[in-house]
């Protein structure tokens, strides 16, 4: 079976500093992979390199066998990459439905139709409402995003990512800044995602990361330190040393 994602010796250098230093990993279709490590380990920079936010300094990225190393972000999205960010990235003055409609149109040929309003395409609104329904926000479709709590904005961002129909979804700290009850909501939403979506997730909440992952990759100082099942990673002495400040 062709891997969903193959990262081969990927590195990113900033003025001589290697933030990501020769990372290689392979993710199977439908897998849930957690990427963990201390602050500054290079996790988000690696995500940026994989998804095209940053250009790699060296190495390669393959998506279902296709080399996407030098493709721009929008081309990678078209091929099946979806992404959320550490900080929510939504239009606060628009309604929830309008945010989703814009996300849908962004990957649709109708974005090039200039002389017809979006209201002329009722299926876009139906799709947006269906997306909001999957994250429990359908009844708030017409509200401006600025009225949402931070946790609800995280839910909206998940809906935005899912409505681009990703084959591989990158979640960058989806539970960051959330209360315990909000973390449980996001945990259940990610757990319920269909297995035809491969998920890579950066998460500092170990209960969330290890509870969702099939396999775990631990990074430190820009490199992969350990990789294995949640149980193997939890029992690894090196991982414990890094997290308790002895490495």
Question: In this structure, is residue 122 part of a structural domain?
Answer: no
The answer to whether the pTM exceeds 0.95 is no
Question: In this structure, is residue 179 part of a structural domain?
Answer: no
- Here the CATH number for the domain that contains residue 7 is 3.40.50.300
Q: Length of the chain, please?
A: 247
- 68 close to 75: Cβ distance less than 8 angstroms: yes
Nearest to 97, CA basis, from 158, 150, 139: 139
Question: In this structure, is residue 156 part of a structural domain?
Answer: no
Question: In the predicted model, what is the mean pLDDT of residues 133-143?
Answer: 93
Question: In this structure, is residue 226 part of a structural domain?
Answer: yes
Which residues form the domain of 52?
A: 1-79+213-247
Burial of 14 from C-beta contacts in 10 A (0-12 / 13-18 / 19+): exposed
Question: In this structure, is residue 45 part of a structural domain?
Answer: yes
CA atoms within 13 A on the CB side of 1: 9
Question: In this structure, is residue 57 part of a structural domain?
Answer: yes
Q: What is the 3-state secondary structure (H, E, C) of 168-204?
A: EEEEECCCCCCCHHHHHHHHHHHHCCCCCCEEEEECC
Report whether pLDDT(111) > 70.
no
Give me the number of domains the chain comprises: 1
Report whether pLDDT(106) > 80.
no
Q: Where are the beta strands (DSSP E) in the chain?
A: 5-14, 17-27, 32-36, 58-63, 66-67, 81-83, 168-172, 198-202, 215-220, 223-228
Cβ neighbours, 10 Å, residue 125 = 17
User: Sorting pLDDT into bands at 50, 70 and 90, what band is 50?
Assistant: very high
pLDDT in tens, 209-232: 999 999 999 999 999 999 999 999
């Amino acid at each position: 079976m062709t891997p969903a994602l193959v990262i081969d010796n990927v590195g990113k250098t900033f003025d001589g500093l290697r933030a990501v230093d020769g990372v290689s990993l392979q993710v199977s279709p439908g897998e849930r992979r957690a990427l963990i490590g201390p602050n500054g380990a290079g996790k988000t920079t690696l995500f940026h390199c994989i998804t095209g936010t940053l250009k790699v300094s060296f190495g390669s990225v393959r998506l279902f066998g296709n080399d996407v190393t030098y493709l721009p972000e929008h081309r990678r999205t078209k091929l099946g990459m979806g992404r959320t960010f550490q900080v929510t990235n939504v239009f606060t003055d628009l309604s929830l439905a309008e945010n989703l409609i814009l996300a849908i149109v962004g990957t649709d040929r109708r974005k090039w139709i200039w002389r017809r309003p979006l209201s002329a395409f009722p299926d876009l609104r139906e799709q947006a409402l269906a997306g909001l329904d999957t994250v429990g926000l359908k009844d708030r479709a017409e509200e401006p995003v600025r009225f949402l709590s931070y946790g609800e904005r995280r839910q909206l961002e998940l809906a935005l990512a899912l409505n681009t129909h990703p084959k591989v979804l990158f979640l960058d700290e989806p539970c960051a800044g959330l209360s315990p009850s909000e973390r449980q909501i996001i945990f259940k939403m990610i757990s319920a995602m269909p297995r035809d979506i491969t998920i890579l997730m950066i998460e500092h909440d170990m209960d969330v990361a290890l509870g969702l992952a099939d396999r775990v990759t631990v990074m430190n100082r820009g490199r992969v330190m350990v990789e294995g099942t949640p149980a193997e990673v939890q029992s690894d002495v090196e991982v414990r040393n890094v997290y308790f400040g002895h490495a």
